[in-house]
Chain A
Amino acid sequence: VTDSQGRVVLDDSVVFLPQDGNFTSTGVIKIPDADPQVGIQGLFLPTTALDEVRGPFSIFPEADDPSVFLSAWAGDLGMDAGKPQSIYSLETEGMEQLGLRALVPGQTWELPNGAGTVTLGNYIRWASFQIAFDPGKEAALAASVIAILGLLGSLFIRRRRVWVRVRPAEDGTTLVEVAGLARTEAGELPVEVADLAADLKGKS
């Protein structure tokens, strides 16, 4: 970025924060040393797409068709008041919009009113890492596998009780009674009890 006198006021990379899974990223460039001060809001798109509803956005995280969409402002950045502000947002109150422009790497934008130039030199990939130690992970996995096995057992193992009572009947024969109680949902118990009764009858 150069100012109105053509002095280079910023020659550095600025971090843009990704906003979605396709790395549509937003960031702000603040030039407090320019006169008047210049602030630029930007949208970095690794793979550029334009949509009537959504405006510019990225359709893929890989830098297949990179570009930045910039909105330049001139005026008071509000940094001198001593109030803390975010480096990722621009307080445009008290500033005047200079214009909008899309740049691809290598292109230069001459700001209106001779306020300076903005050149998109290149982009640098960056990554942030978060290291986490999760000692409960394996225990949780083992517990959930056991839980599934237990669940399968409770749903599909058919518990049932069967009673067989044998006693002499009054006419001298032997009376065999068979009864069953289903402890889980399964419709076949009456059939099984009948089968068992038939089996016992066959053996007598």
Chain B
Amino acid sequence: VTSLGLAEASNLAIYATMVTLTFAMIAFAISFAATRVSAPASAPALVPAGVGAPGALPEHGAAEVAPGIRSANIGMALTWLSFVLLVIGVTLRGLWADRVPWGNMYEFSITSALGILGVFLLWSLKRDLRWLGLFVVIPTLLTLGLSVTVLYTEAAQLVPALKSYWLIIHVSAAIICAGAFTVAGATAGLSIARSRAEVKGTAETGWTRNLPDAERLRILTYRVIAFSFPLWTFAVIAGAIWAENAWGRYWGWDPKETWAFITWVVYAGYLHARSTAGWRGDRASWIAILGLVAFLINYFGVNIFVNSLHSYAGV
């Protein structure tokens, strides 16, 4: 295969991913709509209270939600297919460029999309996350769409400052964090929606019907952030070590460093809010969303609008 063939194959795989993900999104959306129409709240007689109530589609009665479950399953299958296609796309891109495919923003974005799907799918092996599918697939599709339209760049040689094994350590940690923060942002947003519905009394009839209860969603959000926060801390520290190696100082208030620190502080604030009376509920969830916003500003804003040492290879 010629190297140009690899590039085309990589692009094709990315486009194919977007197609299958779009179908996955439709399937998840249908599943949501289907369960929503069947209004009679046939809640099981014994609602498991408090912690440990697994929120999942099959709980809400059996017969009338069947079409919803079927299309949610189709959505999960398509998400797995998309994941495989995206792995192929990213790998081919790496083979073409002959390095890890994290040399510019396009490559980082498609790998982040892979990170989002990876975190979601790995987690879905442990518990039933079909209700979350729609809210993970949408940001993934947006990321991929932005990548192929705005951020696309031909693979070029790595700028010398990036030629280091720290590229693999620092950037892979950041990619996993990108995936986890996005998933946490989705569950935080859903927990707010669900808790509002619970207050209004429409939790079992409105669109949040398919979701686990708000407290469950908050615990899930907390777990994802508890996992990714130390990883983010590590990514920042690894970045500092690399910076000391490449630029001769480990912390220089470069915009990227500053925003990484802001993101870190916001998520630290979230963790504190979770253990502070009066802040545990929706307020903490809002902080989690704020953290994702800070992360996105760091990623898109700093690379595109600010002149930073992290602006490489065009973008």
Contact = CB atoms under 8 A, between A and B. Distances in A.
Interface of A: 21-22, 59-61, 130, 132, 134, 137, 140-141, 144-145, 147-148, 151-152, 155-156, 184-185, 187-191
A141 B250 CA distance: 10
B52 A151 contact: no
Interface stretch (B22-30, B89-97, B155-163, B294-302): B155-163
A185 B226 contact: yes
B67 interface: no
Given A137-B244, A156-B226, A151 B219 contact: no
27 contacts: A21-B159, A21-B161, A22-B159, A59-B156, A60-B157, A61-B159, A61-B160, A130-B248, A134-B250, A140-B250, A144-B233, A148-B230, A148-B233, A148-B237, A151-B229, A151-B233, A155-B226, A155-B230, A155-B271, A185-B219, A185-B222, A185-B275, A187-B51, A187-B219, A188-B52, A189-B51, A191-B52
A134 to B, nearest CB: 8
A21 B312 contact: yes
Contact of A147 (B52, B159, B222, B233): B233
Interface of B: 50-52, 156-157, 159-161, 219, 222-223, 226, 229-230, 233-234, 237, 240-241, 244, 248-250, 271, 274-275, 312
B51 A137 contact: no
In order of increasing CB-CB distance, the 9 nearest A-B pairs are A187-B51, A144-B237, A155-B226, A21-B159, A151-B230, A185-B222, A152-B230, A187-B52, A148-B233
Contacts of A190: 50-52
A84 B223 CA distance: 62
Nearest to B313: A21
A137 B132 CA distance: 44
A137 B230 contact: no
Contacts of B244: 134, 137
B160 A155 contact: no
A52 to B, nearest CB: 14
Contacts of B219: 185, 187
A190 B52 CA distance: 9
A78 to B, nearest CB: 30
Contacts of B230: 148, 151-152, 155
Given A59-B156, A155-B226, A185-B219, A137 B250 contact: yes
A194 B226 CA distance: 26
A136 to B, nearest CB: 9
